[in-house]
Amino acid sequence: MKVLVLSEHDDCCGPMAAAFLRDYSPKLEVVSAGRSPGQAMAPLMIEAMCECLIDMRGYRPCDVSALDVSDFDVIYECPDLPCPTGIQACRDLRDRIKNDSFLFFRSL
């Protein structure tokens, strides 16, 4: 099953949700993209994800207009939440995205 994780900037919540979905099932092919992609993944979010043993270094936000959305079986609209500025707030956001993406996964 092909899943598109769609967010506004694809520099924080979307890539995290996609990474968690990949962890939940190797049978899922997951891509994240943004409507207005940022320049790079937020550095504190990379650090927070490393704590979950998920390496996001080198991730580059993707523009959804570069994809054919009809290639995907399902689209997950990731919550558009601002990237926090402190590490504890990043951990809290990461944990929220992890839970939200798990609930989405269970609904498939």
Please give the pLDDT value at position 107.
94
Residue-level pLDDT, tens digit, the chain, 108 residues: 999 999 999 999 999 999 999 999 999 999 999 999 989 988 999 999 999 999 999 899 999 999 999 999 999 999 878 888 899 999 999 999 999 999 999 999
Residues spanned by the domain of 57: 2-107
Domain count, the chain: 1
Dihedral angle sign, alpha carbons of residues 58, 59, 63, 66: positive
CATH of the domain at 69: 3.40.50.2300
Indicate yes or no: pTM above 0.85.
yes
Please give the pLDDT value at position 94.
95
Please give the pLDDT value at position 56.
94
DSSP E strands, the chain: 2-7, 29-34, 74-77
> Distance of CA 5 to CAs 12, 74, 79, 87, Å?
12, 9, 10, 24
Question: What are the structure tokens assigned to 66, written together?
Answer: 């570069």
